[in-house]
Amino acid sequence: MQQNEQKQEHTKSWYAATVNEVTDYPELMGAESADICVIGGGFSGVSTALTLAERGYSVALVEANRIGWGASGRNGGQLIHGGCGLDKLLKKHGDGIADMIWEMKWRGNDIVRERIEKYDIDCDLKNGWAEVAVKPKQVAWLHEYAEERKANNAPETYEIWDREETRENLGTDAFHGTFICYRDGHLHPLNLCIGEARAAHGLGVKIFEQSPVIDIEHGGRPKVKTANGYIEASSVILCGNAYSRFQGLKNLVFPAGSYVIATEPLGEEVVQRINKKDVSVCDLNEVVDYYRMSSDNRLLYGGACNYSGRDPKSIKDYIVPRMAKVYPELKDVRIDYEWGGKIGIVLNRQPTVGCMNNNVWYCQGYSGHGVAPTHTMSEVMADAVAGTMERYDLFAGVKHFRIPGSQWVGNQIIALGMMYYKMMDRLG
């Protein structure tokens, strides 16, 4: 059983280069104890630890590398409601849980916004997330989104732009229309994660970095073991996601590559032309592209998720042609940063949630939609550990299929399935 193969520092991303503080929590050495031990220093783990600390539990958190080292500190920075396969849960259980599902769709956004204010976290939060139609038939979906809001009496914090308004606001002819929601938004994810860790530490959470977990000794008070120490706790919560290697969760979550580039700082005239409202943009294809402006006027452009397990030789060469289809005038712009990482893919796009031996809980697998949903699920898991099971039971009751064979085989099967969707994206 192993959380990660080796201790590593942050990847050379724009996020790591502009972090507010460099974390330096100690390595776990010797014996520690807590009510609850959380494994994983990404959004799921940090948010869960903070939620538990706010409720008065003593908590220890152990991270193989650095806080926010994985997808939580490398992603597109989009704060998007929903995720977690909530619509599938509604379809399975019926309208009796409709209000609960609708509240959960937005709970992650609310938690993030509340914490940014409560703990004074500087993470460049901006309002506005735009879903853009890259094919004419997708325009109808934009109106369906609006109808869903109306059916749930949601505040009118959204707009639909036709092709002309889209061209005016986003400076491109690549899209046929836009649904823009200002209750969603975008931010600096690594600064958010580190800020939440700082808040948790301030409430007494013991945080240990550079401490890969090598084993869990199960029992009435399980022991979470690293090379140089252990944490004994009444309960353990696993939040390792794509980088987790725990045997009991084998072949449930598969790592897929996701990649981002950051241009040189762009002039104000260019910025106003290509993103007048400073919103985050994501297309409606099955294999999505996404982009937004950074706080220093760089275009952060990402997407083209790779499910095979093989990284491209050059991330820049992989992403720039995709960016140039949207903004041809930027095809020769200097690229200052390029980075990638792994996201945790689950076959049915619902997180794997459960409990082993009555006191070792797990929650992982957000399939690339993790900033807000991780915060929702952190609250769900904190409730479950305390004995409030209503929301937890919805997720724990989902049947997940384990792909037989090695992880490599699983990745190839997923990649074959995604080839179909890529082909459909191209055919329109």
Whether the Cβ atoms of residue 101 and residue 86 lie closer than 8 Å to each other: yes
Look at residue 246 in the predicted model and tell me its pLDDT.
67
Look at residue 418 in the predicted model and tell me its pLDDT.
46
Banded model confidence at residue 159, pLDDT cuts 50, 70, 90: very high
Residue 31 predicted with pLDDT over 70: yes
Whether the Cβ atoms of residue 304 and residue 260 lie closer than 8 Å to each other: no
Helix (H) or strand (E) holding 259: strand 254-263
Instruction: Report yes or no on whether pTM surpasses 0.85.
Output: yes
- The answer to whether the 14-75+190-253+347-397 and 126-186+255-345 domains have the same CATH topology is no
In angstroms, the CA 232 to CA 217 distance is 9
Domain 14-75+190-253+347-397, architecture per CATH: 3-Layer(bba) Sandwich (3.50)
Banded model confidence at residue 302, pLDDT cuts 50, 70, 90: very high
* Pick from 37-41, 78-82, 253-257, 307-311: least confident: 307-311
In angstroms, the CA 118 to CA 31 distance is 33
Look at residue 287 in the predicted model and tell me its pLDDT.
82
Query: In the chain, where are the structural domains located?
Result: 14-75+190-253+347-397, 126-186+255-345
* Pick from 79-88, 129-138, 366-375, 415-424: least confident: 415-424
Cβ-based neighbour number of residue 228 at 10 Å: 11
Look at residue 372 in the predicted model and tell me its pLDDT.
96
Look at residue 380 in the predicted model and tell me its pLDDT.
97
Which tens digit of pLDDT belongs to each residue from 97-154? 999 999 999 999 999 999 999 999 999 999 999 999 999 999 999 999 999 999 999 9
Average pLDDT, the chain: 90
Can you say whether residue 77 is alpha, beta or left, with left for phi > 0 and alpha for psi between -120 and 50 degrees?
left
Contacts of 284 (CB under 8 A, 6+ apart): 131, 132, 133, 134, 135, 138, 141
Look at residue 410 in the predicted model and tell me its pLDDT.
46
User: Percent of the chain scored above 90 by pLDDT?
Assistant: 78
Q: What is the per-residue DSSP string for 146-210? A: HHHHHHTT----EEEE-HHHHHHHH--SS-SEEEEEEEEEE--HHHHHHHHHHHHHHTT-EEE-S
pLDDT, mean of residues 205-232: 97
Look at residue 286 in the predicted model and tell me its pLDDT.
80
Residue 182 predicted with pLDDT over 90: yes
Contacts of 97 (CB under 8 A, 6+ apart): 89, 90, 394
pLDDT, mean of residues 365-372: 83
Banded model confidence at residue 307, pLDDT cuts 50, 70, 90: low
Helix axes 43-54, 371-385, angle to 10 degrees: 40
Which tens digit of pLDDT belongs to each residue from 376-410? 999 999 999 999 999 999 999 988 766 655 444 44
CA 314, 315, 316, 322 torsion: positive or negative?
A: positive
Total H helices, total E strands in the chain: 12, 17
Q: How many residues does the structure list for the chain?
A: 428
Q: Output 280 or 249, whichever has higher pLDDT.
A: 280
Whether the Cβ atoms of residue 210 and residue 66 lie closer than 8 Å to each other: yes
User: Percent of the chain scored above 70 by pLDDT?
Assistant: 89
Residue 83 predicted with pLDDT over 90: no
Where does residue 298 rank: exposed (0-12), middle (13-18), buried (19+ CB within 10 A)?
Answer: buried
**What is the DSSP-derived secondary structure letter of residue 301?**
E
In angstroms, the CA 224 to CA 213 distance is 7
Whether the Cβ atoms of residue 47 and residue 61 lie closer than 8 Å to each other: no
pLDDT, mean of residues 193-222: 97
* Domain spanning 126-186+255-345: CATH 3.30.9.10: yes
Strands 158-161 and 254-263 come out as unpaired
